[in-house]
Structure 1
Amino acid sequence: MSEHEKIKFEDGLVESGDETALSRLFERAEAGEELTVGFLGGSITQGSVASDDTLCYAYRVYDWFVKTFPKSHFTYVNAGIGATDSEYAAARVAEDLLSVKPDFVLMEFAVNEGPTDHYTETYEGTLRQILTSKPDIAVVLMCNVFYDEGRNAERIHRLVARHYDIPVLSMRTTIYEAILSGDLDKSMITSDDLHPNDYGHGLVARVITTYLESVSDKCTAKAAETEKTDGNAGRREIPAPLTANRYEKSVKYDKRNSDAVIRGIQGFTPDDTPREAVRDCFRYGYSATQTGSFIEYEVNGACIAVQFKRTVNLPAPVAHVTVDGDESAATMLDANFDQTWGDFLALTDIYISDKPSVHTVRIEITESHPDDKGDFYLAGILVSG
């Protein structure tokens, strides 16, 4: 028996959820409708470490749809961006995914955030935007895992999923469990205890498609009994929020939409480089190299975060940010990144309150060096609530 045959793929479903919308999706696919399947997440969803984009788990799941429902035409949308969490997703999901009106969405951020109240709220805010985008949208949530110790944010993601009656699939109860039991050698699927290789992506995809096949089989049995799902059955009722829900309304201000909120700018140069793909995250920002350069915003919100590039091109400038001129609560933004895997899109919360109000945000370069190899790149500010 091979290693993958020892994995209990059927154990991946850890929250059953309401399958009505998914069943309706499969009926539409069987009828030959044109449908869009979308994926939202971090580096694993993006396809990190996979040797080809078509070998990542997301594309393999899309390929399952194509082969299972040959009469239908499917559009594939991969909105994965490495090293990002559901807080950023709340500010980008409308543009990166919902703009194409997906019929199916799989979301995963379990290894990109901790099991905290903050991420419970940001995850819920992102999910609510997806659920309210179309009345019959089919959603599945998925939890990847650190394969060395089984760590992830599955607990809080399942908490949110139960509140909205959404299915959840887990790599901890399937692939990681096989590693713990000695039925699977960890080195076969990952070299860094997190990102799956081609074989690992195949296993992740199989956890997902095993579940999809089980729902599809139920639909086939129902069709044989001439019982079709009610056309309105997939239209779920959205319950009241589980959290304070400040991230359901979230916007990222970058070069394209900041004119109305920028109150002053000196030494920061706008980036007009076209964005060719979702993963092109260092686009439409502002860059600066000299001490004293600043950019100042006036925004209305309850929660504010700054997004900037931490670069491996060292040294690089350092900035600090103040809200409403409060120097005692100033936050340092260090563009120097001492890791080796590439530039990092950092997100730093600078203000969180219960209610929205108008605030002034000033970002100023406080340290630069004659031998700087990198710049300070401000990707934008995120305002929620």
Structure 2
Amino acid sequence: MTEEQFLRDSEEHVDIRSEAYREMIAKSLLELGNNKRLKAAIEKAKRGEDVTIAFIGGSVTHGAGADPLHLDCYAYRTYAGFKERFGREGGPHIRFIKAGVGGTSSELGMIRYERDIRRDGAVEPDIVIVEFAVNDADDETKGICYESLVRKALAADNAPAVVLLFSVFENDWNLQDRLAPIGRHYGLPMVSVKDAVTEQFYKSKEEGHVISKKQFFSDIYHPTNAGHRIMADCLCWLFAETDRCEPHQEDINLDQPPVYGSDFADVQLLDRYNGIGVAEITEGSFSAADSELQFAEMDDHPYGTPQFPYNWMHASESGSDSFKMTLHSKSLLLIYKNSGSDDFGNADIWVDGKLAKAAESHAVNWTRCHAVILYREQVSREHTVEIRMAAGHESRKFTILGFGFVK
């Protein structure tokens, strides 16, 4: 047992039945928002109809810090709490979808949404919880990608409820101030773990202290089992409060200008699996397939699922021919692999004959998916993209995981 584990385990027991705990959880309710969609999902569950509750986010949604990850993460606990409160006995009519990928922001999340939440059109979620408040420092657009993801989810034909969840780091930081205006603009329910726990960290028991940082965090980023339990209780508090309220008669209004922008609300994934007929592609020396990928435990699975397996990899012995793609679009993002391996190198990305980006495999020294914007324009037109290994890196590897494009 490490010293940190000993200190955490020796802390006083968290009394989840205390009035202080209840008050802490209640503070998480940042906004009830327009409840029409969430009430509709709750009523469906009560009637025994099929209801799907889905979660998309970073490593906290993936379940990092929970043990076992797939059952003690906040997402599964929230699903279990919703099912216990609103589901009918004897029926497996509440479905759980979890799509958290560590170290990734909404810039990648908006591209993953159709594949990982809607399962390429096979699933229409009734409730979508979005958790990127501690990941979106990597959003190049500072809010446009997040708002695009939110609008993408809201605009579905089945009118799902979208809940914004703001988790927090050990240093009390998140991007709630940037993201909450989007929720207020569209009248969305919002839950802030930061608002619930941060203030009480610094109080005495008499003043309302419930849980210490050592109890709540497994490291500087991720919750312990106790922390995940609190996050789930915060979301379940929103569900309970919504259930007690009268329903709004009018739906949220999407026919209004965005707060930051919605340039990527219609973004689509392009990879080796679905690229045929969408773009003209010459693989060149990027003809191999990379199987050493980032893995994430999806849904309630105890095993990891490889992320972006339909990729193009430049292997050490592949040669020097460029990857070339011609595509009619107004926006394009590249998804590529970061790696801690010295075998991987850098690539230069050229758009319409001009150097647009230098992609560094060691931007972070661990295996993860990374998305960058190559261009963003107002009008769709034909573009040519060329990717070739950077000078001096020709004998190293580089993996193109895929692209996100807007027609």
Under TM normalisation by the shorter chain, which class is it?
0.7 to 0.9
Q: 1:186 aligns with which of 186, 208, 213?
A: 213
1:114 counterpart SS class: helix
Q: Is the 8 A contact 1:304 1:384 kept in 2?
A: yes
Kept after mapping to 1: 8 A contact 2:351/2:384: yes
Tell me if 1:383 matches 2:387.
no
C-alpha distance 27-244 of structure 1, shift in aligned 2 (>3 A): closer
Residue aligning to 2:34: 18
Q: Tell me, yes or no, if the aligned pair for 1:255 and 1:270 is still in contact at 8 Å.
A: no
Q: Kindly tell me: are residues 170 and 338 of structure 1, through their superposed partners in 2, closer, same or farther at Cα, counting changes over 3 Å?
A: closer
State the shift of 1:141 in Å.
0.9
The two structures have a TM-score, normalised by structure 2, of: 0.82
CA deviations 1:297-341 (Å, max 9, x no partner) are: 1123333221111112223122110111113xx4221223663xx
Q: For 1:104, give the aligned amino acid.
A: I
Question: Between the two proteins, what is the percent identity of the paired residues?
Answer: 24
Give the counterpart of 2:79 among 62, 67, 71.
62
Alignment of 1:141 onto 2:164: yes
* C-alpha separation in 2, matches of 1:262 and 1:285: 16
**1:102-137: CA deviations, max 9, x gaps?**
111111111111397823211121111111113442
Out of 101, 124, 138, the residue aligned to residue 81 of structure 1 is 101
Query: What runs of 5+ residues in structure 2 fail to find an aligned partner?
Result: 1-12, 299-304
- Matching residue of 1:93: 113
Instruction: State the secondary structure of the residue aligned to 1:118.
Output: coil
Q: 1:180 offset after TM fit, Å?
A: 3.6
Shift in Å at residue 20 of structure 1?
Answer: 1.8
Q: Does 1:251 align with 2:268?
A: yes
Matched residue, 1:285: 311
Does the aligned pair in 1 maintain the 2:37–2:159 contact within 8 Å? yes
Q: Does 1:154 align with 2:181?
A: no
Aligned to 2:6: none
Structure 2 CA distance for partners of 1:30 and 1:263, relative to 1, 3 Å: closer
Distance in structure 2 (CA, Å) of the matches to 1:164 and 1:105: 15
Structure 1's 208 and 235: CA in aligned 2 closer, same or farther, altered over 3 A?
A: same
- Checking the alignment, whether the CA contact within 8 Å between 2:32 and 2:238 is kept in structure 1 is no
List runs of 5+ in structure 1 lacking aligned partners. Answer: 223-228
Count of paired positions: 366
Q: Secondary structure, in 3 states, of the residue corresponding to 2:141? A: helix
Closer, same or farther: CA 116–365 of 1 in aligned 2, 3 Å: closer
- CA RMSD, 1 decimal: 2.7
Whole-angstrom CA distance in 2 between matches of 1:337 and 1:126: 25
Task: Tell me, yes or no, if the aligned pair for 1:289 and 1:317 is still in contact at 8 Å.
Answer: no
Counterpart selection for 1:166 from 184, 188, 203 = 188
CA contact (8 A) 1:141 1:169 kept: yes
Q: Which residue of 2 aligns with 1:177?
A: 199
Offset at 1:49? 2.1
Cross-structure match for 2:353: 325
SS of match in other structure, 1:356: strand
Instruction: Decide which of 335, 351, 361 is 2:361's aligned counterpart.
Output: 335
Distance 2:174 2:398 in 1: 31
**TM-score (ref. length: structure 1):** 0.86
